[in-house]
Structure formats: C-alpha cells, structure tokens
C-alpha cells in the first residue's frame, strides 16, 4: 500500500462547552475516495477545517507526505496541495468565475491574465467534466454550478487533496451523479478525495474507505468490501434506527387548507403554479413529491403569504386568506419551515435566544411597555432547547455555529411552539443524518397527532412514503397526481415526477 498523503495524529479541538474532536487519528491515501461518515455535530467538518487551515487544533499533529506541517491559514494549507469545498460556498457573488478563482492565487500578481486563466479553466473543466463559463457572474449560477467553481478553483491551485463537505446537500440527483463521476476521475488521476457525508447510499456508491465519527471520536474505519448498513448505523448513532413508523389513521375532521385553481408567478415572471388545487385536512400529512424547480417554492410561499397569488383562492379553515401578508398568516396559525434554514428560517448572526424570539416578541408575556421581558424570554429558550434536544454551547452563541441537524431542531422548536393549525415544511430532513432525520420525523408525527394539518414538500420519496397519508406530485407547476399513500408506489411517482402524465385514476386537481 502506498504511503499516506496525509497523516492526522491525536487531533483534538475544543469549543466553549463542546469537545468537537477527541484525539482523532486519520490517514488519507492518494488515489482513494475516503468518506468521513457521522451524525450532524459528530466533528467531521471541524476535523477537515483543521486540515484545511480554517481552524487550529488544540493538540495533535498533521503530516503531509511524511513532513509535519502547522497550518495558520487556508492559504498555507492550499500551498501544501490541500483544498476544501465548504457546504456553504465561499464565493463573491458579484465577481466573475475567473475573478473568484484569481482571488486565492498564490503568485500575488497585480495583473490578471484573463486569456490564460480562461484557457486553464476550460482545460480543467474538460478534463474532469466541470463545464463552467469563466466570464459568468457567480450570482447568475445555480448551486450545482457554484460547486463546480469551488472544485475548479482548488484544482487550479494545484490541490492534490480535495475535501468536500456534504457535497450533495444542494444538488439535484442528476447533479449528484455527475459529481460522483468527476470525483472518480480525480481519484484515478492520483488525487485523494475526502467527502463528508451522513448518507449511507453515497458511501456505498462512491467510497473506497470509510471512517466513522461519533461525539468527536473515531468509532470505526472500514474498507468498501466490509461495508454493512447495520454496522455503519450502529457506529454513527450507537443504536438501531427505525425503518418505518406506525401511523394513526387520518381522523375525519375539518379541511385546514383549501387551494382552488391557484396561479402564481416565479421570480422570472413565468408560471410557477398553474391552476393548482389541493386540500389538507386536520391531522393529515400531505406529501408533495417532485424534482426541485417545479413549483415547490412558489407553493410554500403562496400559502404563507410570502408570494402573491395571481388568480385562484387560498382558504384556511374556510376563511379566504388569499394574498394576506405573512404576519396575518402567522396570526392565523400557519407555521413555516423553509428549505433554506440559515437564509430564510433563521438569522445566522443572531443567537439562539433571539432566533427563538423572532415570531413571538410581541406577545404580552415577552414584551413589556418599553422593554422585553429578558427573564421570560431566556426561560422559554431554555425550555425549547431542552425539550427539542438542541445541542448548543450557549444560548447566546450565534446559530451559524450549530450543525445542520440542530439548526433544523431549533427551527422546528420555534415553529411547533406556536401551536400551529397548519405546518408547511420544505425538505424536512435535507442534509440531516439518520438519527437527526428520525428525530425530525417524530416531531412531525407528534404534530399530526395534535390534529395539525401538515403540507410536507420533499424530494425524498422514501421519506414521503414513510410519513405521508396522501401523496401529490408537482410537475411544471401542476399537481399531476394525488392519491392515498397506500395506492402509491415509487415507480409511479417517479414517472409522474418526470412528467410522463397523470396517474391513472388520480385526479390531478382533486383534494
């Protein structure tokens, strides 16, 4: 076996109240794809941030090609051939692709040779199947294209060790497949690829070797031939995870949400929703399946008052609430868990207490005549953090420091505490590990038991089949299937998602 490119020995990193990495050893070899697997908050991203120079370890050593290195910045790590693509991209939106790549250039030149850079970017893109336009502004790119820019930037600077943090969290299934082909080409070219994930199917599909972390410690390392789902899950969460849930029958009750032939436009001025009709009853989970970009965002925003309805009606418990502002919808018992947790759901730089207060600061128990009731606000935050098992170092630390699973728990805690009549939740388990996913699912099932109507939008068909009472398929802004989950199957839903027509016997606009 060749000598490792990277040797990490005894890596330890502490944050206030949290031991993120506890004496971790890790070897990374050339030509391999190495998966770093673990729950959200297990220490994966912290470990790789130390390797990439973003954090400095409290103890331990890093050897690159047998020589010990101490990285004081990402620039020093890049100089040693180590590059990291973070889950939240580090690009300057108004700049072009070429300008973003030039920003981290090591030669320090004042003049940018655009012709040479364009040629080099094109050559790298052609070699690894990463086609991007060097002249395009970053804000014009899709999330998948932005990820390509990050990868090309690392390759342009000569990285031989490429680290990707949750690389498929923002990608469509098609983009994820293309990325896997690219990573395999890079490994065949002698690069070492490390990808941080919590998704077992990605490990099986891509990894040559797997290291599993739990609570900041290595719980096991396996070669591809040794992979076993039960073993991996036990290493990740320390217990078995349920594969299905017992669901109560939907009670006969009132209709919570009634949408009648709704038309809405997207941000491009084109149809986002076309004559869409649906109903959600009390104690019902209505799962909406579909490939991203087929009207999911517009649907959620029309219901919650964030987007105007051009035609049609939206009714809540029989009351016409069409185009009512978000504040009115909140007052009427509508809660919303958006796709973008940190961009729309939570404010990254505000602390836990402040984020939990965002929707309730005007309530009498929290607001006095002139000042907020700080004691009551803190007690509520303590209660919610404890009740929903949100792992925080401090109630007054910025929420951007939380892992994805605990961000989602915090967001759900705030929304559920409002005792909603209708919950709109988009991609509830996107980016979450198996343990966090189970916890989120349990919270939704508890809401259902309290007779809350739930509209759940998800790309994960297994999630929909496990949780939903009824399934609808959204394609090109239309509801092209609507049937009880007992009558649904993965193949039929997949065909509808691809636009192959309306389910036989299923009325596309039925409630």
Q: Are residues 159 and 74 in the same domain?
A: yes
Q: Are residues 212 and 103 in the same domain?
A: yes
Q: Are residues 318 and 349 in the same domain?
A: no
pLDDT value of residue 90: 81
What stretch of H or E contains 252?
none
Q: Are residues 217 and 255 in the same domain?
A: no
pTM over 0.75: no
DSSP 487: G
d(CA 278, CA 288): 11
Supply 329's token pair: 């919808």
Residue 358 falls inside a structural domain: yes
d(CA 452, CA 333): 10
pLDDT value of residue 82: 92
Q: Are residues 218 and 353 in the same domain?
A: no
State how far the alpha carbon of 491 is from the alpha carbons of 143, 476, 482, 487, in Å.
28, 19, 15, 12
Of 50, 84, 46, the residue nearest 70 (C-alpha): 50
Q: Are residues 281 and 428 in the same domain?
A: yes
Q: Are residues 11 and 108 in the same domain?
A: yes
Residue 115 falls inside a structural domain: yes
pLDDT value of residue 241: 52
d(CA 420, CA 397): 27
Cβ neighbours for 443, distance < 8 A, ≥ 6 positions apart: 388, 409, 412, 416
- Domain end: 379, 400, 418, which one? 418
- Pairing label, strands 422-426, 453-457: parallel
CA 84, 89, 92, 93 dihedral sign is positive
CATH number, position 293: 3.40.50.300
Helix (H, G, I), strand (E, B) or coil at 32: coil
- Domain end: 202, 237, 272, which one? 237
- Domain end: 418, 440, 464, which one? 418
Taking a C-beta distance cutoff of 8 angstroms, is the pair 212, 223 a contact? no
Residue 85 falls inside a structural domain: yes
Taking a C-beta distance cutoff of 8 angstroms, is the pair 47, 11 a contact? yes
Taking a C-beta distance cutoff of 8 angstroms, is the pair 441, 409 a contact? no
Q: Are residues 36 and 89 in the same domain?
A: yes
Q: Are residues 356 and 449 in the same domain?
A: no
d(CA 330, CA 457): 19
d(CA 87, CA 165): 5
pLDDT value of residue 505: 36
pLDDT value of residue 501: 53
Q: Are residues 365 and 489 in the same domain?
A: no
DSSP letters spanning 108-168: --SS--HHHHHHHHHHHHHHHT----TTSBGGGS-HHHHHHHHHHHHHHTT-SEEEEESTT
- The upper half-sphere exposure of residue 51, i.e. CA atoms within 13 Å in the direction of its Cβ, equals 33
Residue 260 falls inside a structural domain: yes
- Pairing label, strands 255-265, 271-281: antiparallel
Q: Which domain holds residue 281?
A: 241-333+420-511
Residue 1 falls inside a structural domain: no
Q: Are residues 322 and 441 in the same domain?
A: yes
Residue 104 falls inside a structural domain: yes
pLDDT value of residue 509: 42
Residue 135 falls inside a structural domain: yes
d(CA 432, CA 440): 9
State how far the alpha carbon of 402 is from the alpha carbons of 1, 20, 237, 359, 399, in Å.
38, 12, 18, 20, 5
Q: Are residues 349 and 441 in the same domain?
A: no
Torsions phi, psi of 226, nearest 5?
A: -95, 0
Per-residue pLDDT 10s for the chain (511 aa) are 678 999 999 999 998 777 889 999 999 999 999 999 887 678 888 999 999 999 999 999 999 999 999 998 888 898 899 988 887 778 888 888 888 888 766 555 555 567 777 888 888 888 888 878 888 888 888 777 888 888 888 888 888 999 998 887 666 667 778 888 889 998 998 999 999 887 788 889 899 999 999 889 999 999 999 988 888 877 877 655 555 566 666 667 789 999 999 999 988 788 899 999 999 999 999 999 887 778 898 999 999 999 999 999 999 999 999 999 999 999 999 999 998 888 788 999 999 999 999 888 777 777 766 777 888 889 999 999 998 888 888 899 899 888 777 888 899 899 998 889 999 999 888 767 677 788 888 889 999 999 999 999 987 777 888 899 999 999 889 999 888 988 887 777 877 876 765 443 344 444 4
Q: How many domains does the chain have?
A: 3
Report the number of secondary-structure helices (H) and strands (E) in the chain. Answer: 16, 20
Taking a C-beta distance cutoff of 8 angstroms, is the pair 152, 130 a contact? yes
């Amino acid at each position: 076996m060749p000598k490792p490119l990277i040797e990490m020995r005894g890596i330890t990193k502490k944050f206030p109240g949290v031991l993120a990495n506890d004496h971790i050893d890790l070897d990374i070899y050339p030509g391999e794809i190495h998966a770093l697997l673990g729950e959200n908050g297990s220490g994966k991203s912290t470990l790789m941030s130390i390797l990439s120079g973003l954090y400095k370890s409290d103890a331990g050593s890093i050897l690159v090609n047998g020589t010990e290195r101490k990285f004081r910045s990402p620039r020093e790590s890049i100089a040693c051939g180590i590059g990291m693509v973070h889950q939240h991209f580090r690009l300057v939106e108004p700049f072009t692709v070429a300008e973003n790549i030039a920003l981290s250039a090591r030669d320090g030149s004042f003049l940018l040779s655009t012709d040479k850079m364009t040629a080099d970017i094109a050559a790298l893109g052609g070699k690894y199947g990463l086609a991007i336009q060097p002249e395009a502004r970053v804000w014009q790119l899709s999330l998948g294209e932005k990820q390509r820019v990050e990868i090309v930037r690392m390759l342009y600077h000569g990285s031989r060790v490429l680290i990707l943090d949750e690389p498929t969290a923002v990608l469509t299934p098609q983009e994820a497949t293309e990325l896997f082909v690219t990573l395999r080409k890079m490994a065949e070219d002698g690069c070492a690829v490390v990808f941080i994930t919590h998704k077992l199917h990605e490990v099986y599909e891509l990894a040559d070797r797997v290291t599993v972390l739990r609570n900041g410690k290595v719980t096991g390392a396996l070669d591809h031939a040794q992979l076993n789902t039960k073993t991996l899950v036990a290493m990740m969460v320390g217990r078995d995870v349920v594969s299905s849930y017992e669901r109560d029958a939907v009670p006969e009750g009132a209709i919570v949400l009634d949408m009648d032939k709704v038309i809405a436009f997207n941000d491009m001025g084109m149809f986002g929703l076309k004559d869409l009709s649906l109903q959600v009853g009390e104690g019902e989970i209505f799962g909406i399946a579909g490939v991203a970009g087929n009207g999911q965002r517009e649907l959620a925003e029309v219901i919650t008052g964030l987007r105007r309805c051009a035609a049609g009606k939206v009714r809540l418990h029989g009351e016409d609430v069409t185009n009512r502002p978000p504040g009115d919808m909140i007052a009427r018992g509508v809660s919303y868990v958006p796709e973008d947790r940190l961009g729309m759901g939570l404010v990254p730089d505000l602390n836990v207490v402040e984020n939990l207060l965002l929707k309730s600061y005007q309530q009498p128990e929290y607001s006095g005549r002139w000042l907020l009731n700080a004691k009551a606000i803190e007690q509520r935050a303590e209660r919610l953090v404890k009740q929903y098992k949100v792992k925080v170092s401090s109630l007054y630390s910025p929420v951007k420091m939380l892992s994805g699973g605990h961000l989602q728990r915090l967001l759900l805690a705030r929304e559920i505490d409002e005792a909603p009549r209708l919950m709109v939740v988009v991609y509830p388990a996107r980016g979450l590990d198996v343990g966090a996913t189970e916890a989120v699912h349990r919270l939704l099932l508890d809401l259902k038991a309290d007779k809350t109507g739930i509209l759940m939008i998800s790309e994960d068909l297994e999630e929909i089949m496990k949780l939903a009472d009824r399934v609808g398929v959204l394609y090109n802004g239309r509801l092209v299937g609507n049937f009880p989950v007992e009558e649904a199957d993965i193949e039929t839903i997949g065909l509808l998602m691809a636009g192959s027509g309306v389910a036989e016997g299923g009325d596309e606009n039925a409630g």
